[in-house]
Amino acid sequence: MVQAFEEISAADFFYRNRDIAGFTNPSRAIFSSIRELVENSLDASDQSRIPPEIYIRLSFEYEGSMKGSGEVKAEDESLFENGFRGTEPKVYRLRVADNGSGVPARHIPAAFGQVLFGSKYKLKQTRGTFGLGGTMALLYGQITTHKHALVKSSTGGARIYIYKIMVDIPRNRPIILDRKILLNKEGWRGTIVEFSLEGDYAKAMSRILEYLKQTALVNPYANIMFIDPKGRLYKFTRVTTQMPRPPKETKPHPYGVDVEAIQRLIRVTPCRNMVDFMRNHFHRVGEKTSHKFLEFAGIGKTINPRKLSRERIVRLVKMMKRFRNFLPPDASCLSPISEELLKAGILKELQPEFIAFCQRQPSTYSGHPFIVEVAIAYGGNIARKNDLVLYRFANRIPLLYDEASDVSWRIIKRINWRRYKVSLDMPIAILVHICSTKVPYKTVGKEFIADRPEVKREVLNGIREAARQLQRFLTKREHVERERKRLSTFSKYLPKIAQFSTELAGKKRPPDIKKLLWSVKKYEEK
């Protein structure tokens, strides 16, 4: 028997393996679709530096068509969702509109109709990474409803483009069904995506709302509106127009490159000697470091990089990993949330009594720079549920699934909280944000952070530092509380002593105890 060999496209691959991109089932799919499009919108407005206005509308279209179809694994879902089973998937229409930078007309079809096409492959911190999410959402809509998607976008120029597109899955190419061009009289800028998909909103609802709340928390400069299928409006209003410092695009750090990366650089480099090559193509490598490194690696400084043999290239990469004197990556390519913005977001969504914040110094894992930010919030709207609440964020997006696998979760579980005067029944939320040019996700679905030792150390130290601040707050509060109690004890009992001894002594007026009460207060203030 002859086996049939065939090649499949990237779109086909993700069509067959949509689980790994977060499109496991109807409720997860609806969550992931909203999430991918919202994150694209947020990235788009980071580029335009204009505070985002994001409008999401999910409306009911008709009852689902895939009843009983093997494609839907609704039964698995009950393991993850708290909604009751028995709701059949329905067809919804999803519309996400933003005021971001807009997509240039010539890229619109590919950006939304081709998997793994995007603007985010550069070394810079962005929410999305693969150019996968937006198209996956449309692809999922297409395979469940067999309908085209509508994309409308303008970069703020004279024209607005409207495309009707579908995905040619076997070839991973967009199919343009229709294209309209409108005059952009009002100078509108942004992107609107609208398509139909099958999903289960009843089950996905709580996750979607939680996702939006946490997104609003780490993006306090965004206005987010969501109208759900029942016509309910959820509005998350910005509390600031200040946006985080934009990340800069960066060159690769020597610790983070491999042989393939060097070969690609050699193909395009204009440099004619190794000193210049090192200096021009790598992050934090200057004249001096370049010389030192080449001496260390035993590679001639004057060699033309294009003439390097394969063995030499392998050696170069090996020595790069071994050389200890490269400067660590700087953080200009990163955009942490900052204390001010994170606190504003927390205050807005959780209204806590107290917020501790710690931003760690930039650090690296495998040549990728990253910054960890930790905030611990106490009181307010944070629920007491006999466990600490953990909010996880990576590159300013909330991570909602697989909490127990996340490095932060494991660290929190291992910390002896009593040392910080924290008991688990306190209303405490811990927020951990990791931003990096390459967030160490374990899956394509961006669910949880892997257990990298460098990342783990930074998260642990960040949590410790914030926990120490919390401890100081709790200690002070306890002290104030004790003092208040002490004074109230004196002012409760002393007048009684005065009253009863006055009656015993047969005096008419009670003794003046104001001075005594005042003296206990003053003593404590000293």
Partner 1 sequence: MKKSKSAALERKKEVVAKLESFGLDLYEQMEKGVFPSIKMPSRSIENIRYSPEFRQYILGERKVHRSARNIRHIRPFTQLVWTAFFAHELAKHRKTSTLRDVYYSAQAYNMSFKDQPESNNIITDLETISGFAREDFNVFPEERSAIFGDLTIEYTVPGYEGKQLNLTSHPDGVMIGPALTSSEFAKTGADKVIAIEKGGLFTRFVEEQVHRKFNALLVLTAGQAPRATRHFIHRLNKELSLPVYIFTDGDPWGMHIAMVIISGSANAAHLRELTTPDAKWSGVWASDIVKYKLPSDPLTAVDVKRLYELQRDPRYEGKLWQRETKRFLKIKKKAEQEAFSRYGLTYIVDEYLPAKLEALEED
CB-CB neighbours of 223 under 10 Å: 16
Q: Which amino acid is at 303?
A: I
Which of 60, 323, 417, 490: binder of partner 1 (CB under 8 A)?
490
Q: How far is the CB of 498 from partner 1 (least distance, A)?
A: 6
Q: How far is the CB of 455 from partner 1 (least distance, A)?
A: 49
Between CA 110 and CA 175 the distance in angstroms is 9
Using the minimum distance from each CB to partner 1, give the nearer residue, 261 or 505: 505
Q: Is the separation of the CB atoms in 432 and 408 below 8 Å?
A: yes
Q: How many CA atoms lie within 13 A of 257 on its CB side?
A: 26
Length of the chain: 526
Which of 170, 178, 180, 493: binder of partner 1 (CB under 8 A)?
493
Q: How far is the CB of 50 from partner 1 (least distance, A)?
A: 60
Using the minimum distance from each CB to partner 1, give the nearer residue, 471 or 502: 502
Which of 49, 106, 496, 526: binder of partner 1 (CB under 8 A)?
496
Question: What is the x/- site pattern for partner 1, positions 497-516, by CB under 8 A?
Answer: xx-xxxxxxxx---xxx-xx
Q: How far is the CB of 493 from partner 1 (least distance, A)?
A: 4
Using the minimum distance from each CB to partner 1, give the nearer residue, 380 or 511: 511
Residues forming beta bridges with residue 196, ordered by sequence position: 93
Distance of alpha carbon 249 from the chain centroid = 19
Using the minimum distance from each CB to partner 1, give the nearer residue, 239 or 520: 520
Positions in 460-489 near partner 1 (CB under 8 A):
486, 489
Q: How many residues bind partner 1 (CB under 8 A)?
A: 22
Q: How many CA atoms lie within 13 A of 430 on its CB side?
A: 28
Q: How far is the CB of 504 from partner 1 (least distance, A)?
A: 2
Using the minimum distance from each CB to partner 1, give the nearer residue, 418 or 509: 509
Using the minimum distance from each CB to partner 1, give the nearer residue, 418 or 515: 515
Q: How far is the CB of 24 from partner 1 (least distance, A)?
A: 59
For residue 28, give the nearest of 443, 503, 401, 375 by alpha carbon. 401
Between CA 151 and CA 193 the distance in angstroms is 5
- What the block records as the tokens of 490 is 């004196």
Q: How far is the CB of 481 from partner 1 (least distance, A)?
A: 14
Between CA 231 and CA 67 the distance in angstroms is 25
- Give DSSP secondary structure letters for 246-270: PPPP-PPPGGG--HHHHHHHHHH--
Q: Is the separation of the CB atoms in 371 and 363 below 8 Å?
A: yes
- Give DSSP secondary structure letters for 451-481: --HHHHHHHHHHHHHHHHHHHHHHHHHHHHH
Using the minimum distance from each CB to partner 1, give the nearer residue, 20 or 497: 497
Between CA 345 and CA 216 the distance in angstroms is 7
Q: How far is the CB of 512 from partner 1 (least distance, A)?
A: 8
Told to check if 229 binds partner 1 by CB under 8 A, we report no
Determine which helix (DSSP H) or strand (DSSP E) holds 13, and give its type and residue range. helix 10-16
Using the minimum distance from each CB to partner 1, give the nearer residue, 322 or 486: 486
Using the minimum distance from each CB to partner 1, give the nearer residue, 146 or 486: 486
Angstrom CA distances, 172 to 45, 116, 149, 150, 375, stand at 27, 9, 16, 18, 42
Site for partner 1, rule CB under 8 A: 486, 489-490, 493-494, 496-498, 500-507, 511-513, 515-516, 520
